[in-house]
Every structure is written in structure tokens, then in C-alpha cells.
Amino acid sequence: MRGMRKFDSVADYLKAVPPAQRAILKKLRQTIKAAAPKATEVISYGIPGYKHHGMLVYFAAFKNHCSLFGVGTALMTEHHKALAPYKKSKGTIQFTVEKPLSMTLVRRLVKARVQENEARR
């Protein structure tokens, strides 16, 4: 999805995502918004992102997977057991339609990112 075209909103981005991935990303969006209700939804680097005293997380759809970006290495280490089933690299978690991220885990990660950003303020 990245680089294909410029999106004006997260809703616009999601409309361009294939249906199976769109369903997962919509759920991810709802979970992020619930975990960080004061966050501002943005399009940054051509993908959906969430800001609250700095960037919290981003997500995107690709041909064979989706990714949650910006989690950070400290949180990745802290939640390594829960993240074991997923492909990971430097603060990024890759997941698929067949093996979506646990929304409970996403909620925990986003709330922790909010705390990190607020502590830095």
C-alpha cells in the first residue's frame, strides 16, 4: 500500500486496502483509538499514525502482511513472549490475515506508548 498514492485520511487509506486486511486494520484502528482516546489520527509517511505528545504508533497494509510500527524495542523486549508468534524487527510487528495481532496486546502496547510519551513531556 505504501507509496501507491497519497491519502487524505485514515478512512481514505482503509478504503484502498483489500477487504480481508481492511477488516483487521479497522479493528486495529478502533483498539488504538480506545487505548489512546486523546491521540490525534494522522497520515504520516503515507500511512495511518497516532500522535499524543509525539508519535505513538503507525500501521500499514502490504501485499502479504500488515505491520504495526513504532512500538519501540523496550516494549518489544518486555512483551517478547506475547510477540513470539509474529515476525518482528526494531519496534515493528508484522502480522497476517491468518494470524492477526491480539487486540488485548495492542491495547497494552498503545497504553504503554502513551505513558512513555507523557513521561517524556
For 70-85, the pLDDT digits (tens) are 999 899 999 999 999 9
Domains and their CATH numbers in the chain:
10-114 (3.90.1150.200)
Stretch 88-105: mean pLDDT, rounded?
94
Per-residue model confidence as pLDDT tens digits over 25-64: 999 999 999 999 999 999 998 999 999 999 999 999 999 9
The secondary structure element, H or E, covering residue 109 is helix 103-120
Match 504508533 to its residue by C-alpha cell. Answer: 57
pLDDT score recorded for residue 70: 93
Residues 6+ apart with CB under 8 A from 28: 59, 66, 68, 101, 103, 106
